[in-house]
Amino acid sequence: MTERRRLAVVIGGGNGIGAATVRVMAARGWRVVAADLDDAAATRIAAEVEDGVGVGLDVTDPAGMEVTAARIEADLGPVAALVVSSGAFHDSLPPHRLSDDDWSRVLRVNLDGTWHADRIFGGRMAARGAGSIVNIASVTGLFSSPLLAYGTSKTAIIGLTRNLAGEWGHSGVRVNSVSPGVTLVERILKHRAAGTRYYGSDFGTHAAMGRSVEPSEVAETVEFLASDRASAITGIDVPVDCGWSTAAGWEMFGGARPPVTPEATR
């Protein structure tokens, strides 16, 4: 009899970092449920991997999420890992131009949605005495940025992660977060192609490594934290940003140095 693979649910799994995480976790031996507000996208990504399952899920509807969580576990077994990668965004605007509706929408999806998912799926893990949660935050949650609602929501997600790690540690549930830098998902690539001010063609040069992050690089970190290889790690946030946060202080001195050449060392 084939051993049952452990089950992971990736919320926001229909696109971007979430979709990359579905692919990486499946490649590492997990059975993965891709959950997304866009259920067609979730189904499409799930079809790419072995035994993948796609479901529609709205993180702003906790009652509906309760039903979905119960159905997933009844049909597929206990969820061993939860990844929360759903997100809402907004334009870079000063406070007097950022509407209350946009502020509330971003906080409702990013922070409240993460809370609902962690509480509903994580509560079931805690009752069983085992599980792992990885929340997707952002480097905008670590430093000042012009993304006022988005950055604030991500700062709060990092705090929520730490608090739940303390809450559920004795119940065998680990809770961590990952903070990506500028990651080359479709949304960012469209901004770059359009020459949008805050996503210009050279934005990778502001990172210590001189480039932006690939979605798979974030996904690899997520899968590690979800797995037993990270069995002693909980309550931390891991920036995956190609050293953007490291290089920030270099801007006032003209930016990171160019690559060292053999001639320069002679």
pLDDT score of 149 more than 60: yes
Domain assignment of residue 265, yes or no: no
Domain assignment of residue 255, yes or no: no
- The CATH number that applies at residue 150 is 3.40.50.720
Q: Lowest-confidence range among 62-66, 83-87, 203-207, 245-249?
A: 203-207
Domain assignment of residue 40, yes or no: yes
The chain-wide mean pLDDT, for the chain, equals: 91
Sign of CA dihedral 64, 69, 70, 71: positive
Arithmetic mean of pLDDT, 4-29? 96
- Percent pLDDT > 90 in the chain is 72
Tell me the C-alpha to C-alpha distance, in Å, between residue 217 and each of 17, 152, 163, 203, 209. Answer: 9, 24, 26, 18, 14
Bigger pLDDT: 213 vs 11:
11
Q: What is the pLDDT of residue 1?
A: 30
Q: Which amino acid is at 121?
A: F
Domain assignment of residue 102, yes or no: yes
Q: Is 68 in a helix, a strand, or coil? A: helix
Bigger pLDDT: 75 vs 259:
75
pLDDT score of 190 more than 60: yes
Arithmetic mean of pLDDT, 15-19? 95
* Total residues found in the chain within this entry: 266
Tell me the C-alpha distance between 101 and 134, whole Å: 28
Domain assignment of residue 121, yes or no: yes
Instruction: Print the domain residue range for 127.
Output: 7-181+214-242
Arithmetic mean of pLDDT, 115-142? 97
> Residue 195: pLDDT band by 50, 70, 90 thresholds?
low
Tell me the C-alpha to C-alpha distance, in Å, between residue 139 and each of 62, 117, 136. Answer: 27, 21, 10
Domain assignment of residue 157, yes or no: yes
pLDDT score of 94 more than 90: no
Query: Which residues does the annotation mark as catalytic?
Result: 150
Taking the alpha carbons at both ends of the chain, their separation in whole angstroms is 64
Domain assignment of residue 188, yes or no: no
Q: What is the pLDDT of residue 245?
A: 87
β-strand partners of 32: 8
Give per-residue pLDDT as tens, 212-264: 889 999 999 999 999 999 999 999 999 999 998 888 888 888 888 888 888 76
**Residues in CB range of 246: below 8 A, 6 or more apart:** 208
Domain assignment of residue 207, yes or no: no
Here the tokens at position 52 are 């993948």
- Total domains in the chain come to 1
Task: Return the DSSP state at 153.
Answer: H
